[in-house]
């Protein structure tokens, strides 16, 4: 089957009898989605090589560290296995650590995030604690023994295999000495938190609403692409051709973006708009419009904007779509990085989503795609979904993948399917 | 390359104070940065912006290297008559980016 598909692509490229081959390609395919897929494969694309910069190098200004001993989305067997239930680290008790130092560590954001990112911790809690984890304000009066407190910080999976809390000791964020100090601090926590400001209470903090006028370039710099995208569309490539040479009326592409990304059987991967732009530009204009380049992002925003207001509609019914969704579920639940987070740990409402991680509200994975690419006010850049996924990886201290990695394609497909029916609103603006 | 945007009301009453918003695409390269090879990237900023109404200057601004890319400047003008606003942004190399906008007063 693979051989026959490959030969079809080859034949089409070399200009063989297309209609007969199209009939042949469709013969064995049961549904219309498969027919669309066959059509997608006929679009000229340079299928060889990377669609992004090679070799891949992390963006300037990002964390430079690498985490080669922990899982990434491709290397999924690196992270050391979790302890079995009840398999606790034996420590000398009672713990008499330095509570003052423990407090300092718990409140310090610079290493790993600090306990306050997820927990309220008593009356001295600094501003904007999170509520992904339980309120620890009275943990010192809850009757936990020292071994339990120590191990819950060292590696909570010894007690709760489902815990989303990072194994702070087992993954090398804190030394045994430091964890003992934190336990000493926890033991001092015996009174409920008092918040000086209502906004500091994560249970009462208002959920952020994004209501800026994302279509106004005065508000959202990414919206410049409504105009600059037209320029890129008309700009001649290395062979003298521009997008407009073949696509005379850009408006004919209205509605195209809401059906992306798509599975490409020839390349055996999901192709999103940005990767498509890179491969299509290379094939038709002999031009490098690599993923993450300014032109690529500008054009991708522009192409999406042509479908603004139309409902997102990616195939979820075909056999291939179901296979992608299944693979996505594996990726969404794969623990990656030194912090040991899976996507679902922070972005499914059953776990961390719709709660606060420090001052930031964790969105759920559903409903994110319509506003991508997005202007990030905190970064002063337009980011496509692939860069956002890379950022997620680096934030949980996992090695990111190149932007055209098949795994990101699968995740993009899944996230887009989760936004099916929602109207395209590209480009958005967010923190 | 540089694209300027102007926003102002198309009509106003005589003597009304209107707000003009301007946004120009520009890297505002400060001269303080270095490229990947460690060589300084030469300064290239917009150092001056002016706005005239019917030939008479109504606003000017001196811009410095600390101003971010894509400078956004808004200001207020009292309009007494219909006419044309002319905007000009001058780059370090002397290049001038120009834009105009009309207003009808009555």
How is B32-94 classified by DSSP, letter by letter? --B-TTSPBPPPB-EEEEEEEETTEEEEEEE--TTSPSS-EEEEEEEE-S-EEEEEEEEETTS
Q: Which fold has domain A319-430?
A: Cytochrome Bc1 Complex; Chain D, domain 2 (1.10.760)
User: Please, what is the average pLDDT of chain B?
Assistant: 94
Interchain CB contact of B5 with A (< 8 Å): yes
> Burial, A285: exposed, middle or buried (Cβ in 10 Å; 0-12, 13-18, 19+)?
buried
At residue A201 the predicted structure's pLDDT band, cuts being 50, 70 and 90, is: very high
Residue A78 burial (C-beta neighbours within 10 Å; 0-12, 13-18, 19+): middle
Q: Do B25 and A224 touch (CB under 8 A)?
A: yes
Look at domain A99-200 and name its CATH class: mainly alpha
Tokens at A411, concatenated: 């995740």
Say whether pLDDT at A12 is over 90: no
Q: What is the ipTM of this complex?
A: 0.74
Which of A218, A224, A228 is closest, CB to CB, to B21? Answer: A218
Domain boundaries, chain A: 2-53+214-305, 99-200, 319-430
Residue A265 has pLDDT above 60, yes or no: yes
Span B70-80, mean pLDDT?
A: 95
**pLDDT (average), residues A168-185:** 96
Pick the closest to residue A31 from A317, A411, A384 (CA basis).
A317
Q: A80 by DSSP, 3-state: which?
A: coil
Q: How many CB pairs (< 8 A) connect A and B?
A: 15
Q: For chain A, give me the number of helices (H) and strands (E)? A: 14, 7
**Helices A385-395, A406-418: inter-axial angle, 10-degree rounding:** 110
pLDDT at A106: 94
Instruction: Identify the residue among B1, B5, B67 best suited for mutation to test binding to A, counting A beta carbons within 10 A and taking the highest.
Output: B5
State yes or no: pLDDT of A20 exceeds 90: no
Q: Does B6 touch chain A (CB under 8 A)?
A: no
Whole-Å CA distances, A299 to A290, A291, A320, B50: 11, 11, 28, 32
State whether A380 and B7 contact (CB < 8 Å). no
CATH number of the domain at B15, please: 2.60.40.10
Residues 6+ apart with CB under 8 A from A364: A347, A348, A349, A353, A354
A95 three-state secondary structure: coil
**Cβ contact (<8 Å) for A228 and B69?**
no
Angstroms from B76 CA to nearest CA on chain A: 17
Looking at residue A19, what is its pLDDT? Answer: 38
| Of A318 and A16, more confident | A318
Task: Inspect the interface and report whether the beta carbons of A224 and B21 lie closer than 8 Å.
Answer: no
Q: What is the pLDDT of residues A121-171, one digit of tens each?
A: 999 888 789 999 999 999 999 999 999 999 999 999 999 999 999 999 999
- pLDDT at A21 exceeding the cut of 50: no
Average pLDDT of the residues in A304-333: 97
Does residue A191 surpass a pLDDT of 70? yes
Q: State the best of A58, A224, A295 to mutate against chain B, taking most chain B CBs within 10 Å.
A: A224
Closest CA to A156 of A85, A211, A51, A214: A85
Residues of A in contact with B21 (CB under 8 A): 218
Report CB contact under 8 Å: B23, A228. Answer: no
In chain B, the percentage of residues whose pLDDT exceeds 70 is 98
Residues of A with CB under 8 A from a CB of B: 217-218, 221, 224, 227-228, 380
- The angle formed by the CA atoms of residues A188, A164 and A356, to the nearest 5 degrees, is 75
| Partners of residue A218 in chain B, C-beta under 8 Å | 5, 7, 21, 23, 72
Residue A34: per-residue pLDDT: 62
Is the pLDDT score of A18 beyond 50?
no
Whether A99-200 and A319-430 share one fold: the answer is: yes
B30/A contact by beta carbon, under 8 A? no
| Residue B68 with chain A: CB contacts under 8 Å | 380
The one-character DSSP state at A406 is H
The two tokens of residue A252 are: 């004919």
CB contact under 8 A, A218 and B68: no
**Residues facing residue A263 across a β-bridge:** A270
Give the tens place of pLDDT for each residue, A110-123: 875 689 999 999 99
Provide the domain limits for residue B67: 4-105
Average pLDDT of A59-84? 96
DSSP letter at B29 equals: B
Residue B48 contacts A, CB cutoff 8 Å: no
Instruction: Give the percent of chain A with pLDDT over 90.
Output: 85
> In this complex, which of A218, A227, A380 lies closest to B3 when CB atoms are compared?
A227
Strand, coil or helix: A47: coil
Compute the mean pLDDT over every residue in chain A, rounded to the nearest whole number: 91
Query: In this structure, are strands B56-62 and B96-105 parallel, antiparallel, or unpaired?
Result: unpaired
User: Looking at the complex, does the CB of residue B76 fall below 8 Å from at least one CB of chain A?
Assistant: no
CA angle A209, A213, A218 (to 5 degrees): 130
Judged against a pLDDT cut of 90, whether residue A198 lies above it is answered with: no
Cβ pair A218:B23 closer than 8 A: yes
> A409: closest CA among A262, A220, A305, A252?
A262
Report the distance separating Cα B92 and Cα B42, nearest Å: 10
Domain count, chain B: 1
Chain A residues closer than 8 Å to B25 by CB: 224, 228
């Amino acid at each position: 089957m693979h051989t026959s598909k490959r030969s079809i692509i080859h034949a089409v490229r070399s200009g063989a009898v297309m209609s007969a081959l199209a009939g042949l390609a469709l013969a064995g395919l049961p549904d219309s989605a498969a027919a669309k897929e066959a059509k997608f494969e006929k679009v000229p694309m340079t299928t060889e090589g990377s669609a992004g910069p090679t070799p891949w190098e992390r963006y300037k200004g990002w964390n430079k560290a690498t985490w080669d001993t922990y899982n990434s989305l491709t290397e999924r067997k690196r992270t050391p296995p979790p302890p079995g239930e009840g398999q606790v680290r034996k420590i000398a008790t009672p713990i008499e650590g330095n509570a003052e130092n423990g407090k300092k560590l718990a409140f310090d954001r610079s290493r790993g995030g600090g306990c306050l990112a997820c927990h309220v911790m008593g009356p001295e809690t600094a501003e904007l604690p999170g509520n992904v984890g339980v309120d620890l304000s009275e943990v010192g009066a809850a009757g936990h023994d020292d071994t339990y407190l120590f191990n819950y910080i060292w590696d909570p999976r010894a007690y709760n295999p489902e815990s989303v809390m990072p194994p702070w000791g087992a993954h090398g964020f804190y030394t045994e000495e430091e964890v003992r100090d934190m336990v000493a601090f926890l033991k001092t926590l015996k009174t409920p938190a008092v918040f000086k400001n209502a906004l500091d209470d994560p249970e009462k903090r208002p959920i952020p609403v994004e209501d800026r006028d994302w279509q106004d370039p005065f508000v959202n710099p990414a919206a410049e692409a409504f105009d600059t995208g037209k320029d890129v569309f008309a700009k001649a490539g290395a062979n003298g051709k521009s997008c407009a040479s073949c696509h005379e009326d850009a408006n004919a592409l209205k509605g195209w973006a809401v059906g992306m990304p798509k599975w490409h059987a020839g390349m055996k991967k999901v192709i999103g708009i940005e990767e498509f732009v890179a491969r299509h530009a290379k094939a038709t204009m002999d031009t490098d419009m690599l993923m993450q380049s300014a032109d690529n992002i500008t054009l991708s925003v522009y192409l999406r904007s042509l479908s603004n207001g139309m409902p997102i509609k990616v195939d979820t019914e075909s056999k291939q779509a179901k296979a992608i969704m299944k693979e996505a579920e594996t990726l969404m639940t794969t623990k990656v990085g030194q912090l040991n987070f899976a996507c679902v740990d922070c972005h499914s409402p059953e776990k961390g989503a719709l709660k606060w991680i420090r001052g930031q509200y964790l969105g759920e994975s559903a409903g994110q795609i319509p506003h991508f690419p997005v202007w990030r006010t905190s970064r002063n850049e337009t980011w496509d979904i692939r860069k956002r996924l890379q950022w997620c990886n680096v934030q949980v201290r996992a090695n990111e993948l190149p932007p055209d990695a098949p795994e990101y394609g699968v995740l993009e497909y899944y996230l887009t399917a989760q936004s099916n029916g929602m109207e395209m609103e590209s480009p958005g603006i967010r923190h | 390359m540089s694209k300027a945007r102007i926003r102002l009301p198309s009509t106003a009453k005589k003597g009304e104070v209107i707000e003009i918003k301007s946004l120009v695409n520009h890297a505002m390269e400060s001269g303080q940065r270095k490229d990947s090879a460690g060589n300084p990237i030469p300064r290239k900023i917009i150092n001056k912006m002016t706005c005239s109404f019917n030939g008479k200057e109504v606003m000017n601004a001196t811009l410095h290297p600390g101003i971010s890319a894509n400078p956004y400047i808004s200001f207020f003008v009292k309009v007494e008559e219909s006419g044309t606003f002319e905007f000009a942004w001058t780059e370090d190399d002397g290049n001038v980016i120009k834009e105009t906008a009309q207003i009808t007063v009555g």
